[in-house]
Amino acid sequence: MTDNKVALITGASRGIGRACAIELAKAGYNIAVSYAGNDEAANKTVADLQDLGVKAKAYKFDVADKDACAKAVEDVITEFGGLDVLVNNAGITRDGLFLRMNAENWEAVINTNLSSAFYMSNPAIKTMVKQRSGCIINMSSIVGVMGNAGQANYAAAKAGLIGFTKTLAKELGSRNIRVNAIAPGFIQTDMTKDLDPTKMAEHIPLKRLGMPEDIAKAVKFLAVDGEYVTGQVLGVDGGLVI
């Protein structure tokens, strides 16, 4: 047990999740780092967080596995002594035009990007209700707002997260639990490594792709300073959706 607040971030070994972990650690949070299989990246993130003077531990499990999520949340609460912030960030893409999209790719994306938020939030909220405080941040996408050819599965999952966010915010506000979503635009991570940044930037009012740190700052705002903010979808996209 420490006096630091505790954040559990799914998919925190790399990319946006890793940047969120570092930003919240700088704000004094102890961090539980979830990841799927990249031990090297997870260990590096944990070491970098510990260098910032906070407690950090990695948890390897599949966010699409309900029982694994329940166990991980329980383990984190036991190890860290509570849970103040849950960031449902882990996600994958399995792109393809709908006419050629098979059920396997549909289910993989829905389970990993949407059902995971239910699997993680369900046990987390039980502790937050007892604490009478908590904050959940769901990593949606501009694609969940606008749709995107070739991403019916991903857009459905990300749009689902927005409905999930607004509903939980209404149900849990009286318990002092805030629930928000972030809709990132194109952010430079492994997920977008095949996109041409110069070509993409032409369509973005701020004329650049986002960096993981741009999203991490929004997560920190919602977790730390946004005490009167709930049920919102915060676009962090360089003005792409206006």
Interaction site with ligand NAP (CB under 6 A): 10-17, 34-38, 41, 62-64, 89-92, 112-113, 139, 141, 184, 186-187, 189-192
CB atoms within 10 A of CB 225: 10
Task: State yes or no: is 59 an active-site residue.
Answer: no
Minimum CB–partner distance for residue 37 and ligand NAP (Å): 5
CA distance 124 to 38: 24
CA distance 97 to 160: 20
Minimum CB–partner distance for residue 130 and ligand NAP (Å): 26
Which residues fall within 8 angstroms of residue 167, CB to CB, at 6 or more apart?
none
Q: List the strands of the sheet with 56-60, edge to edge.
A: 56-60, 30-35, 6-9, 85-88, 134-139, 177-184, 233-236
CB atoms within 10 A of CB 18: 25
Whichever of 83 and 139 has its CB closer to ligand NAP, that residue is 139
Minimum CB–partner distance for residue 192 and ligand NAP (Å): 4
- In the set 29, 35, 59, 154, the catalytic residue is 154
CA distance 45 to 17: 10
In this structure, what token pair is assigned to residue 124?
A: 């987390």
CB atoms within 10 A of CB 163: 12
CA angle 231, 236, 237 (to 5 degrees): 135
CA distance 71 to 111: 17
Which residues fall within 8 angstroms of residue 22, CB to CB, at 6 or more apart?
45, 48, 49, 52, 216
Catalytic residue numbers, as ranges: 154
